Amino acid sequence: MLGALAPLVGYHLRRALSAFSADFTAAMEGTGLRQVPLAVLAIVQANPGINQGAAGRMLGIKRANMVALINDLVEKGLIDRVVDVSDRRAFSLTVTKAGIAALADAMARIEAHENRMLDELSMAERALLLDLLGRIERRSPAGDGDENGDA
């Protein structure tokens, strides 16, 4: 059936993420938040005052692609963006009150979504999966997010 693909972790990673993404999108319907913006929101909440570049680097998002992402979150009133007093090139990002509420709602939906996707796995297996994935992630080439997008 699957032939040469059957034993490939990369292939199954792709298919598993595809299943996750479809259910995630359904779970978030009506919130106006998708995967990437939600991740940005969560990172800003966990790191108040962080700037766009640093947030992007943590998530593997290029500087150029952060702009529209942050604009959107600011327009939605979920993130505050003020010039950083210690480096006037940068913006200091924080989650607004509405952002905190949106994140709380999203996380409740996501918890249900994760339980749905993982309901065949025991708690020990879920922890093991997180551990295994974490050890793969750390093999990312340094300089994921950006680094030096210019010539």
Partner DNA sequence: TATTGTTATACTCTATAACTATA
Partner DNA sequence: TATAGTTATAGAGTATAACAATA
Interface residues with a copy of itself (CB under 8 A)?
Answer: 1-5, 7-24, 35, 39, 42-43, 45-47, 58, 60, 103, 107, 110, 113-114, 116-121, 125-126, 128-130, 132-141, 144
CB of 53 to DNA, least distance (A): 3
8 binds, among a copy of itself, DNA, none (CB under 5 to 8 A by kind): a copy of itself
- The dihedral through the CA atoms of 29, 35, 40, 45 has a sign that is positive
CA–CA distance from 64 to each of 44, 54, 70 (Å)? 18, 13, 11
If DSSP states are collapsed to H, E and C, what string results for 92-103? EEEECHHHHHHH
Supply the minimum distance, in Å, between the C-beta of residue 127 and DNA. Answer: 26
Q: Which residue, 88 or 124, has its beta carbon nearer to DNA?
A: 88
Q: Phi and psi for 79 in degrees, rounded to 5?
A: -130, 140
Contact of 81 with 70, CB cutoff 8 Å: yes
Q: Taking the complex as a whole, how short is the minimal distance between the CB of residue 77 and a copy of itself, in angstroms? A: 19
Name the residue nearer to DNA (CB basis): 46 or 67.
Answer: 67
Q: Helix 97-117 vs helix 9-27: angle between axes, to the nearest 10 degrees?
A: 130
Task: Decide if 112 contacts 122 (C-beta within 8 A).
Answer: no
Asked if residue 63 lies in contact with residue 31, where contact means CB atoms within 8 angstroms, the answer is: no
List residues binding DNA (CB under 7 A): 18, 22, 34-36, 51-54, 60-67, 70-71, 87-91, 148-151
Beta carbon of residue 124, minimum distance to DNA (angstroms, whole number): 30
CB-nearer residue toward a copy of itself: 91 or 106: 106
Judged by beta carbon, residue 23 or residue 105, the one nearer DNA is 23
